[in-house]
């Protein structure tokens, strides 16, 4: 007969994993859109801070891409383009009674921060380098209902408010006739939704949850500047600046969270995440229309009839993280985890030239009082090698042997609620 692992005896270990997990992934994924704060017992609140520092360096392309856009010959050194960044996550959850629960979560789900410098094909003659900055913020409201004789099943869902803004500068010979292109995408807030189902068996500390988040469509303003291109015929009629609406649809996602007790002091966890980045694109109208105008121009290739996207990805993202937590004392637990991210294709955009990662992480959680706890953790990442390409699919760089690290801290509060 399997022993009973009451959740109370493992409470120190539960939720210690999410301090520095699921970050710096494929596409623009950052936070992993974790909802496990809502799945905690009783009254629960948390505030966490995550800092990410990556080294993403490589070489530009010296090959004659006018002849073969897939040709690559190692050129000038490209020093670290990945800007360090941080983000916060907050969550609060409460039971209304033994059936209904409510919660509010805040995170920064998607983003990018890259900056080129030095003597390479991503820096123009004046010394200004290619730069990208994308930030999002998200607030999710959740209401859940527990079902079944023992309240083992829970259905949950709610609205999501999301804000997005972006700035992109393309500089240097790598971008050919788009060298000097700039766009500012104004901040916009729009709405989506979340829905999920969870199952728990407290006597063995088992909990499983499947969560779906909808895509969110943003309609906002993009202010673009397209460089005047010397040597091209004036009959092309290329516009040089525009302020117009742009549609950006952040992707839907599916998260699976699982945990179970192995023995009275040890917990095993698994997280799986899927995001269809192959459906995502940023397509400013001026950039797209000017690319259409260049179809058939000598020396310009790789432009489809529908024109070019500024940013797009070829593949969907899969992410897996497995972990163990061990309660060492009534107040202290330690954790370890390993992870894998598939990336979103190789070659990939020159604005984020890595193809997924492998990772290993450690963490600890200490209960300062029966209700208050502090968690801290870190993770080391080995990034996958990737060739960088511009929107016309021309190879412009190669990035190999890169890595990074993540550290995080979290303050949490948990209290039992009685409704007898």
**Residue 49 domain-assigned?**
yes
Cis peptide before 366 (omega within 30 of 0): no
pLDDT tops 50 at residue 16: no
**Residue 122 domain-assigned?**
yes
> Is the separation of the CB atoms in 255 and 211 below 8 Å?
yes
pLDDT band, residue 285 (cuts 50/70/90): very high
Dump pLDDT digits (tens) for 240-261.
889 999 999 999 999 999 999 8
Q: What CATH number corresponds to the domain at position 376?
A: 2.40.160.60
**Residue 385 domain-assigned?**
yes
Dump pLDDT digits (tens) for 23-80.
556 778 888 899 999 999 899 999 999 898 999 999 999 987 777 888 899 999 999 9
Domain count, the chain: 1
**Residue 31 domain-assigned?**
yes
> Is the separation of the CB atoms in 31 and 109 below 8 Å?
yes
Per-residue pLDDT, averaged over 152-174, amounts to: 96
**Residue 191 domain-assigned?**
yes
3-state secondary structure of 285: helix
Mean pLDDT comparison of 216-225, 328-337, 360-369, highest-scoring range: 216-225
**Residue 354 domain-assigned?**
yes
Structural domain range at position 129: 7-415
**Residue 420 domain-assigned?**
no
**Residue 113 domain-assigned?**
yes
pLDDT tops 50 at residue 278: yes
CA-to-CA distance for 95 and 146, rounded, in angstroms? 10
Cis peptide before 347 (omega within 30 of 0): yes
pLDDT band, residue 11 (cuts 50/70/90): low
How buried is residue 232: exposed, middle or buried, by Cβ count under 10 Å (0-12/13-18/19+)? middle
> β-pairing, 131-147 with 311-312?
unpaired
């Amino acid at each position: 007969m399997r022993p009973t692992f009451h959740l109370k005896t493992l409470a120190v270990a539960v939720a210690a994993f999410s301090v520095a997990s699921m970050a710096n992934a494929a596409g623009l994924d950052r936070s992993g859109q974790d909802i496990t704060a809502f799945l905690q017992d009783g009254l629960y609140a948390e505030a966490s801070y995550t800092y990410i520092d990556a080294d993403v360096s490589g070489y530009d392309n010296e090959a004659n891409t006018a002849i073969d856009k897939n040709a690559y010959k190692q050129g000038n050194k490209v020093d670290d383009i990945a800007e360090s960044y941080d983000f916060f996550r907050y969550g609060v959850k409460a039971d209304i009674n033994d059936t209904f629960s409510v919660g509010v979560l805040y995170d920064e789900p998607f983003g990018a921060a890259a900056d080129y410098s030095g003597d390479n094909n991503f820096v123009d003659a004046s010394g200004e380098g290619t730069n990208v900055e994308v930030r999002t913020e998200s607030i999710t409201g959740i209401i859940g209902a527990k079902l079944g004789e023992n309240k083992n099943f829970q259905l949950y869902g709610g609205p999501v408010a999301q804000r997005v803004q972006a700035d992109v500068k393309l500089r240097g010979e790598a971008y050919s006739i788009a060298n000097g292109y700039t766009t500012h995408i104004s901040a916009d807030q729009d709405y989506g939704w979340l829905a999920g189902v969870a199952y728990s068996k407290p006597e063995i500390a088992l909990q499983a949850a499947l969560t779906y988040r909808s895509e969110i469509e943003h309609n906002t303003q993009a202010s673009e500047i397209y460089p005047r291109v010397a040597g091209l015929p004036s009959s092309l009629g290329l516009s040089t600046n525009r302020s117009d609406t742009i549609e950006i649809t952040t992707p839907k996602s599916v998260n699976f969270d699982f945990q179970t007790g192995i023995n009275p002091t040890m917990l095993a966890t698994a997280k799986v995440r899927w995001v269809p980045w192959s459906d995502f694109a940023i397509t400013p109208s001026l950039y797209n229309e000017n690319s259409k105008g260049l179809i058939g121009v000598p020396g310009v290739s790789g432009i489809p009839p529908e024109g070019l996207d500024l940013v797009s990805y070829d593949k969907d993202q899969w992410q897996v993280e497995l972990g163990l937590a061990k309660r060492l004392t009534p107040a202290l637990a330690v954790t370890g985890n390993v992870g894998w991210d598939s990336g979103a294709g190789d070659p990939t955009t020159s604005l984020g030239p890595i193809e997924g990662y492998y990772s290993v992480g450690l963490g600890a959680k200490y209960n300062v009082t029966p209700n208050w706890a502090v968690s801290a953790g870190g993770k080391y990442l080995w990034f996958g090698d990737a060739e960088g390409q511009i929107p016309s699919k021309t190879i412009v760089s190669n990035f190999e042997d890169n890595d990074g690290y993540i550290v995080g801290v979290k303050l949490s509060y948990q209290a039992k609620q009685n409704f007898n």
